[in-house]
Chains A and B, each alone.
Chain A
Amino acid sequence: MPYLDLKDVVKTYRGAGEPALRGLNLSAEEGEILAILGASGCGKTTALKVVSGLERQDSGRVALNGQEMDGLTPEKRPIAMVFQKSLLFRNMTVAENINFAPRINRSMSKKLLAQKTGEMLELMQLEGLGGKRAAELSGGQEQRVSLGRALMTEPELLLLDEPLSALDPGLKLTLEAHIQEVNRKLGTTMLYVTHDQKEAARVANRIALMQNGRIVQCAKPRDFYAKPAAKPAAEFFGWENFIPARKRGTLVVSALGEFQIDDSAAEDGGVLLCVRPEAAVEIGQGRMKAVVLSVIPQGIETVYETACAGERIKLVVNIRHSFNVGDEIRFDIDPQMVCCVPAE
């Protein structure tokens, strides 16, 4: 039985026409970081709220470590949550924030509380800041305090709701590594919500891609790049060109040519051939021809929208090669950068 198990969870907010969760099925293994990835409004935060007990599902069940969570209030669940905003208690110091839960609940002796607070400050790389006011911290430090405060409750499951979305890219990378390190050291199972596929791929052991209140695909990050299960998953991970094709065994035939695709989620028959925009190689020399329809400069690379064999294809080309609207681009497609998904 999975460590965290969500079965057919349905949730509709009062006054909302559409359900936020439409039979959500999700499971996480003990000690892993499972990212829930999806666009805004797809229901990922609602999923976390249902797991935490802040929202009650209309139907379906939530179980953690074999124990039913339904009917338990948030404070009774062995689950802690870190929100998008750090939500520090401004009238308290960093140390008081960190040890907030055990201090208020008097679940530790004073000596143990002081010891654990010190250890957590060290783990969160906040040594020397224990006496500072929460208001004096930087954004990154605030999120470390928030994370430390949640971990002080020694949760069986830690929920992280876009915890790094407000931080600048450099700090984000540092904290992502820090979250992974904490996961390795403490073995805490984490459910990590984000809308950023690269962030999900960097942080998580597995990614559950969510769309319209359901999980579209749950797999290791590399699988989303190598063999997405469906067009929405492919789109979310940067696959942009979808060409109607026919598949028989490992052979996929399309207007762009024939491709050998060994491992694919699609059955034989009508499929969509997916071609990454970065798939164009042998620029200026290849066998294929495309006519440039528009040019979008993007720093070191340029995105060309082209017409190729009756299909509109987006190609990303290094700026060493330059083309104008109406020019012909000769190229080949890197067979490693194609896959196929079931036709819609």
Chain B
Amino acid sequence: MTMRGRNRIIIITVAFVVLLLPLIPLLMWSFSSFWRWPAILPEFDGGYWPRLLSDTRILPALRNSLTLSALVAFLSLILSFFAAKNLGTRNFRGKRLIEFLLLVPTFVPQIAIVFGMQTVFMKLLLYSNFPGLVTAHLVFYLPYTTLLLSAVFENYDTVLEDQARTLGIGRLKTMLFVTLPAVRSGVIVAAVFCFIGSWSVYLLTNVIGDPHFKTLPVVIFPLISVGNNSYSMVAVAIILYILPILIILMAVSKALTDPRLGARKGAI
């Protein structure tokens, strides 16, 4: 077996153990009504899934979450791309300060910022509407994506662009056909991380967003936290919450490992 094949198996095994193994008991719980010691297997009950899915808030919330997180990830990538490129490939005075400022939304507790944001967003007419919600998510995830992408660009040599331009390729085509393929894996990772971050936001969406625009966390978290639900219902809610993320991760995993789809570190 080649080194590459062996590495692939190791990565898949680790991913399985770390990511999927903990989900198995959860999955079993979602199909059971009763599971107590000393029973090895739970008593089967397939009723919880239909019960949750029949909740009229779930599917719209799923759609809203997908729309919001995808849009936030897309806008973050677009808006952060050139800033991240400059941050990653150039050295200039104040660079460390900018990096520190970009970190602030990550380490300052969200709750400390959200209520201040509410006041500002009200004045800017960005309160309780979809554009405001997207902007609020961007406040947190645009700096985060910029930092992630700048780390990607630190391994990128801009001389590739010089090469393309001396071959007669204009700036836009150079970006599309040279820069993007070279950092594609990093861009995908940054987009996925941004998506996951935005997907998980509860407080911000609740405070800034339109009360009629419910996302999955806004609908599901109360189900999980309210004490009168059984473990089974909680398990169904959690699986429903993380399933889209797993599907997205599996979908992009090919793009991350396919050599045709972009250069990796040291590819130049």
Contacts and interface: CB of A to CB of B under 8 A. Distances in A.
A104 B267 CA distance: 21
A130 to B, nearest CB: 16
Interface stretch (B77-85, B146-154, B164-172): B164-172
B165 A75 contact: yes
Contact of A101 (B168, B181, B261): B168
Nearest to A107: B168
**Which among A53, A80, A100 has the greatest number of chain B C-beta atoms within 10 A?**
A100
A181 to B, nearest CB: 22
A177 B187 CA distance: 43
Contact of A104 (B171, B173, B268): B173
A23 B173 CA distance: 35
Given A85-B159, A85-B268, A90-B263, A75 B178 contact: no
Contact of B259 (A85, A90, A150): A90
A105 B167 CA distance: 10
Given A91-B181, A91-B261, 13 more contacts: A53-B166, A54-B166, A73-B165, A79-B166, A81-B162, A87-B163, A89-B181, A90-B259, A90-B268, A100-B169, A101-B167, A104-B169, A150-B166
Interface string A65-79: 000000001110001
B162 A74 contact: yes
Size class of A's contact patch? 20 to 34
A87 B259 contact: no
A170 B181 CA distance: 34
A52 interface: yes
A236 interface: no
A80 B163 CA distance: 9
Interface of B: 159-160, 162-171, 173, 177-178, 181-182, 259-263, 267-268
Interface of A: 52-54, 73-75, 79-81, 83, 85, 87, 89-91, 100-101, 104-105, 133, 135, 149-150, 153, 159
B166 A74 contact: yes
B168 A75 contact: yes
Contacts of B167: 75, 80, 100-101, 149-150, 153
Given A100-B167, A153-B167, A87 B159 contact: yes
A80 to B, nearest CB: 6
B3 to A, nearest CB: 14
Given A87-B159, A91-B181, A105 B173 contact: yes
Contacts of A54: 162, 165-166
Contacts of A79: 166
